[in-house]
Amino acid sequence: MDERGRREHGGPERRDPLDKPVGPSTLSVHGGEPRPKPAHSLATPIVQTATYTFGNTQELKDHFDGKIERVEYGRYGNPTQRIAEAKLAALEGAGDCLLFGSGMGAMTTALFAMLSRGTHVVVTDDSYRRTRQFLNQTLSRYGIEVSTVPAGDYEALEDAIKPTTRVLVSESPTNPYNRILDLERFAAIGRYHRVKTVIDATFATPYNQRPLEWGVDLVVHSATKYLGGHNDLLAGAVLGSAELVGAVRGLQGITGAVLDPFAAYLLVRGLKTFALRMERQNANAQALAEFLAEHPRIAAVHYAGLPGHPEHAIARKQMRGFGGVVSFEVAGDLDAATRVVDACTIPFIAASLGGVESLIEQPAIMSFYELTSEERLEIGIKDNLIRFAVGIEDADDLIADLAQALDRAFASA
């Protein structure tokens, strides 16, 4: 801070609390935010404008020459957005962050920036279905080839790589079965073949897992979920090196898939309690998973925090916690799962996840209703599967509610 800044602050320069490594909650509250903030505000201000003015032509030239750091036009960024990006970069340990109007806006723009006609991309078969649809249905129209390989089959992943391959895409944990990718092995395959690696880490969040630390090139989040945390905004984020994110930023300026200032403000506000929320949701989900694993009406529980999970050892190696989503199969059919969902009184029936309220749904109905039971099974979605996105309610209450729902559902069968 210069002398003018010290005078405006009203005292001597304060040392930045983040000059040394700090814990995740301190980082959630203070990371990426300047001191002092504009107008000496404690909360990050909402700069609600699309247009920015210049004092004179020289200032405009200095901006284009890179001599001063400022915003030119709303499609290229916003001061509120910049603070949200800096906070997320600090939490993820990234060189840079770029925000979008949705998670799919982040993923599609990043892939468009990294691929061109005649190139090839490999994706694991349990990646988010809209990402796979974009790759297989949209990008194929532009002369981009896509190979899909089974999740967890690293030999198949490596065998699918061609001279034209530019990107490997995967997700960890996955939706809805909470499969865990060995990030270190995934990144090593990418480095060996000189192709970029992209991970959708929405389920994990930077609290539980930081893929960049394991060598992954680019991380994508639906910030709508745990990062916002309150089911009141849509946003997406791309994080990685300044060079790689800068290339995506250039394309965003053309496509215009930007985040509005108010959503950026809500994201900053939500991130203040991010670490606290994740601690609670991790604990709640672990307790719920352990209860379900012992229940006689449950056929299977899919949660990486359980020792019986196929990638439990990998999850323990690379994750702080195991996330707030528990998927489980009831001992019955589609109707049995429906009865359980409808008998719950605390969680709302809704899509999405990561907010303070618990949500519950049947993937067979919520996401794949248009398919037959046989078609759903072919892509791994069982009729008796339920996804429970755990909120921050008391674990004992969530367990008691689910217990009575299971009792009611099977008593009426």
- The CATH class of the 23-271 domain is alpha beta
Percentage, residues of the chain above pLDDT 90 = 87
State the CB neighbour count (10 A cutoff) for residue 214.
19
Residue type at position 413: A
Q: Is the peptide bond before 36 cis (omega within 30 degrees of 0)?
A: yes
Q: How confident is the model at residue 7 (pLDDT cuts 50, 70, 90)?
A: very low
Distance CA 408, CA 413 (A): 9
Assess whether 75 carries a catalytic annotation.
Answer: yes
Q: Give residue 12's pLDDT.
A: 42
Check 37, 75, 185, 316 and give the catalytic one.
75
| Spatial CB neighbours of 380, under 8 Å, sequence gap ≥ 6 | 126, 177
Q: Give residue 14's pLDDT.
A: 52
State the CB neighbour count (10 A cutoff) for residue 352.
15
Q: Read off the tokens for 17.
A: 């609390």
Assess whether 225 carries a catalytic annotation.
Answer: yes
Stretch 328-352: mean pLDDT, rounded? 96
Q: Give residue 241's pLDDT.
A: 98
Q: Give residue 413's pLDDT.
A: 61
* DSSP SS3 for 338: helix
15: pLDDT strictly greater than 70 = no
pTM of the model: 0.92
Check 225, 249, 339, 376 and give the catalytic one.
225
Counting Cβ atoms within 10 Å, is residue 278 exposed (0-12), middle (13-18) or buried (19+)?
Answer: buried
Check 96, 126, 182, 200 and give the catalytic one.
200
Q: How many helices (H) and strands (E) does the chain have?
A: 17, 12
Query: DSSP letters along 280-310, please?
Result: HHHHHHHHHHHHHHT-TTEEEEE-TTSTTST
Computed from CA positions of residues 55, 56, 59, 60, in that sequence, does the dihedral angle turn out positive or negative?
Answer: positive
Q: pLDDT per residue over 173-217, tens digit each?
A: 999 999 999 999 999 999 999 999 999 999 999 999 999 999 999
Q: How confident is the model at residue 233 (pLDDT cuts 50, 70, 90)?
A: very high
Domain ranges of the chain: 23-271, 275-411
4: pLDDT strictly greater than 90 = no
Whether 275-411 and 23-271 are alike in CATH topology: the answer is no
Assess whether 232 carries a catalytic annotation.
Answer: no
Distance CA 306, CA 177 (A): 13
386 neighbors 341 (Cβ within 8 angstroms): yes
User: What would you measure as the largest C-alpha separation in the chain, in angstroms?
Assistant: 77
Distance CA 341, CA 334 (A): 11
Question: DSSP strand E in 27-164: where?
Answer: 96-100, 120-124, 145-149
* CATH number corresponding to 275-411: 3.90.1150.10
Assess whether 20 carries a catalytic annotation.
Answer: no
Stretch 370-385: mean pLDDT, rounded? 81
